[in-house]
Amino acid sequence: MKEGTKKSFYTDALMAGFGGQGLMFIGKLLAFTAMKEGKNVTWIPSYGPEMRGGKANCTVVISDEEIASPVITSPHALVIMNNPSLEAFEPRLKRGGVLVWNASLITKPIKRKDIRAIRVRANELASQIGEEKAANMVMLGAYIASTDAVSKENVAEALKEFLGAKKSRFFAANIEAFKKGIECVSNIR
């Protein structure tokens, strides 16, 4: 690499679980935060035929460069909320990738030994703050603490804007859940 040239930044993640677990929300928030940081982003949702309780996942790509394709075959990171998603996506994770998994709901063992698996009791941590629906934000905090995909501080700013005035009442619980996820990973390191 030439002196003075900066290595370009690229990462991607696949977030998966059941519909209604807030995966689309955290995927959009991650993409929005990266966009606010001046990065190029893509966010692609994928839903099962059911509205709630069916399969749901999204992919987020973040890069300093233009993104040639938003399609991810072997993601750098997975954020997994349930057993069916673990079974479907664990084999696709890039060697050396990060798997952030919700130990509150996942009962199957992690099979891969060539990845970094981050165990997060997301539902319990969200319950500690009195908002179990914020388990998705716990997972986002753990993901960002594990990967540094975006700045932790910028997530808080982006969340305020993302929620807007209509949903501002959800900010405190969501940011507290996000911090719980960060703490969870900090305690592992």
Cα–Cα distance, 152 to 175 (Å, whole number) = 10
* Total count of domains within the chain: 1
Tell whether 5 is covered by a domain. no
Q: For the segment 133-144, what is each residue's pLDDT rounded down to a tens digit? A: 999 999 999 999
Task: Report the pLDDT value the prediction gives residue 7, as an integer from 0 to 100.
Answer: 77
For 104-125, b/e burial (b = at least 16 CB within 10 A) is bbbeeeeeeeebebbbbbbbeb
Note the helical H segments in 91-170.
Answer: 122-128, 135-147, 152-163
Q: For the segment 34-77, what is each residue's pLDDT rounded down to a tens digit? A: 999 999 999 999 987 665 667 899 999 999 999 988 889 999 99
The range of the structural domain enclosing residue 60 comes to 10-188
Tell whether 128 is covered by a domain. yes
Instruction: Assess whether pLDDT exceeds 50 at residue 167.
Output: yes
Tell whether 113 is covered by a domain. yes
Task: Report the pLDDT value the prediction gives residue 52, as an integer from 0 to 100.
Answer: 62
Q: For the segment 91-112, what is each residue's pLDDT rounded down to a tens digit? A: 999 999 999 999 999 999 999 9
Tell whether 3 is covered by a domain. no
Tell whether 117 is covered by a domain. yes
Residue 121: which CATH number?
A: 3.40.920.10
Q: Which two tokens stand for residue 55?
A: 């399969």
Tell whether 4 is covered by a domain. no
Cα–Cα distance, 171 to 163 (Å, whole number) = 7
Task: Report the pLDDT value the prediction gives residue 16, as an integer from 0 to 100.
Answer: 97
Tell whether 112 is covered by a domain. yes
For residue 124, the number of C-alpha atoms closer than 13 Å in the C-beta half-sphere is 9
pLDDT-wise least confident of 46-50, 84-88, 146-150: 46-50
Percent of the chain beyond pLDDT 70?
Answer: 93
Task: Report the pLDDT value the prediction gives residue 48, as an integer from 0 to 100.
Answer: 73
Q: Are 26 and 79 in contact (CB under 8 A)?
A: yes
Higher-pLDDT residue of 4 and 103 is: 103
Tell whether 148 is covered by a domain. yes
For residue 10, the number of C-alpha atoms closer than 13 Å in the C-beta half-sphere is 11
